[in-house]
Chain A
Amino acid sequence: MLAIPVLALEVLCRTGVVDPMTIIPPSDMLASMLAQIASGDITDSMEQTFSTIAAAFALAVAGGTLIGAAVHAQPRLRRAIDPLLASYYSVPTFIFYPLLVALLGLGMAPLVMIGVLSAAPAVVISTLAGLDGVPPVLLRVARIQRLGRARTLWLIVLPAAMPRLFSGFKLALSYSLIGVIAGEFILSGSGLGYAISFAYQSFDNRAMYGLMLFVLLVAVLANGILYTWEGHLARRRVRG
C-alpha cells in the first residue's frame, strides 16, 4: 500500500518533474542511508542519539509511573495537577534548552532532560487513567486474599492497569524520540538530529535524506515493536 506513493515519487524524481534540490528519489535516499551506515560515518551519531533516547525513555517511564502513582494516591494534589497536565503539551518544551544547558552543562544531560520533559507527562496521564480503571472489586479480592499493599500493587493493580500504562509507554517512546532529535536538530553539536541539520545547511541533500530515512525507519520499527507487543497482550482481554 505504501509502495504506491513511494513508486510514484521515484518516477516523478527520475523523470525530472520534481527538482532534485527539493527531494531526491527514494532509491537514492536508501542508497545514501546504507552507504552512510556502512562507512561508519554516522556510527558515533547513532550511538549518541540512541543512547540519549533510551535514557530519556527509561527515565520518563520510571519517573512518570512513580509520579502518576503518587498523584493518584493524593486526590487534592491530583486536582491541583490535572489542569497543568491538560495544558502541558501546548508548551514547546525545548525552549527550555538554554536553561537546561545552564543547569546541566553541555553534552547529553540537557538532551535527555528534553526527552524526559516531552515524554514523562504522557506516562503520568496514562498512569492516572490506568489506576482509575482498576475495578474496585479486584481491590476487595486483594484484601480477601490478604495480600498487603505492596503485593496488591504488584500482583493486581499493575496488571489491571497495564493496557493503559502501555499506551503511555508507546507515547513516551515517540515523544522522547521527537524531543531528542528535535533538540539535536536545533541546538546541539552532535547526534543524528545535528547531522541532518548540518547536511541541510551544507546543501547536501543526499546525506540529509539518507539520514532522514534512517531516523524514520528507526522510529517506525521501535513503535512497531511496541504495537505488536501491545496487540499480543490485548488479544487475551478482548472477547474472541
Chain B
Amino acid sequence: MTSDTPHASLTGVTRRFGGAQPVHALGPIDLDLARGEFFSVVGPSGCGKSTLLDVLSGLGKPTSGTVSFEGKAVSGSVPDGVGVVFQEDASFPWLTVRNNVAFGLRRAGVDPAEINRRVDHAVGFMGLSQFAGHYPAQLSGGMRQRVCIARTLVQQPRLILLDEPFGALDQQTRLLMGDELLRLWRETGATVLLITHALDEAAMLSDRVGVMSARPGRFIDLVETGWERDRDSRIVSDPAFGAITSRLWSSLRTESLKTLGRVA
C-alpha cells in the first residue's frame, strides 16, 4: 500500500432502510481517510452520522457503494484493526475496570504477561490506575467512558471510530477528554474518525472536518484546519479557531434549520 492509498474509504455509499416506511438515511457519501488522519464529522440530528460509522466499521452493509479499509472491502463484518467507542456506556458491569480493559486481549489469546503490560499501560494512560479493581457501577459516567476507550486502545486498533463519546459530559471534562484523545491519537498513530455535535470540539481536535447535510446525509463542506500534530485544547485561543468554527456553523446552520422544518 503506497502512502497515496487512503487508509479507509467510502465510495458512492448510501444506506437505505426498508420496512413499512423506507428511509434514505445516508449518502451518497465519498470520503477518503489518510493514514493517521484525525477526521471529525459534524451534522444536524438525524443526518446519518451514526449510520456512517456503522457502514465504515462493518457493523452495517451499505445499500450501494463500496467501503474499504487497508485496501480490502468491508461489507457487513468488522475487519481486524478497527476499534469503536460508542455514545452509550458500553462497559461490562460484571467485570472490574482491569478485566474490562483486558477483555479483548484475553479473547485474542495474547500472552498473559503481555496482557498485563498493555492493560497497565492503557489504564494508566486513561488515568484509571487507582480504580483498576473497581466495578463500573462505582465510577462516574466520564470514567466509564474512559474504561471503554482504554478497552479499545489496548487492542491497538489502526482505525478508531468514536460516536459522540463525550456527549454526556460537562464542557470542562469534554475539553480535557479531547486532550486525552489527542494524546491517544499521537501515541497510537491510528486514523481517527470522531462524530460529534460539538463544533468547537471538531474544530479543535481535527485535521479535517466534514460537515454533513440534513437527512439523507451527504458532505456539503470539508474544512482543513491546518493544525500542528502536537496540539491540545489551548488551541481555542488561536484566531484561526474562531474562523474555523464560524465556517462550520455557517455551513451547518442551514441544514440544522431544515431538520427543524424551518427555512434559513
Contacts and interface: CB of A to CB of B under 8 A. Distances in A.
B90 interface: yes
Contact of A237 (B77, B80, B94): B94
B138 A144 contact: no
Given A137-B86, A145-B104, A162 B94 contact: yes
A155 B107 contact: yes
Contact of A141 (B80, B82, B86, B94): B86
B30 interface: no
B88 A137 contact: yes
A160 B94 contact: yes
Contacts of B104: 145
A141 B82 CA distance: 11
Q: Which of A140, A159, A162 has the most CB of B within 10 A?
A: A140
Nearest to B79: A146
Nearest to B94: A159
A137 B90 CA distance: 6
A143 B59 contact: yes
Contacts of B77: 146
Given A159-B94, A238-B137, A145 B88 contact: no
A240 interface: yes
B256 to A, nearest CB: 26
Interface in A129-149: 135, 137-138, 140-141, 143-147
A162 B95 CA distance: 13
B2 to A, nearest CB: 28
Interface string B100-115: 0001100100000000
Interface of A: 135, 137-138, 140-141, 143-147, 151, 155-156, 159-160, 162, 236-240
26 contacts: A135-B88, A135-B90, A137-B86, A137-B88, A137-B89, A138-B90, A138-B92, A141-B86, A143-B59, A144-B59, A144-B78, A144-B82, A145-B103, A145-B107, A146-B77, A146-B78, A151-B107, A160-B93, A160-B94, A162-B94, A236-B94, A236-B137, A237-B93, A237-B94, A237-B137, A239-B137
Interface of B: 57, 59, 77-78, 80, 82-84, 86, 88-90, 92-95, 103-104, 107, 135, 137-138
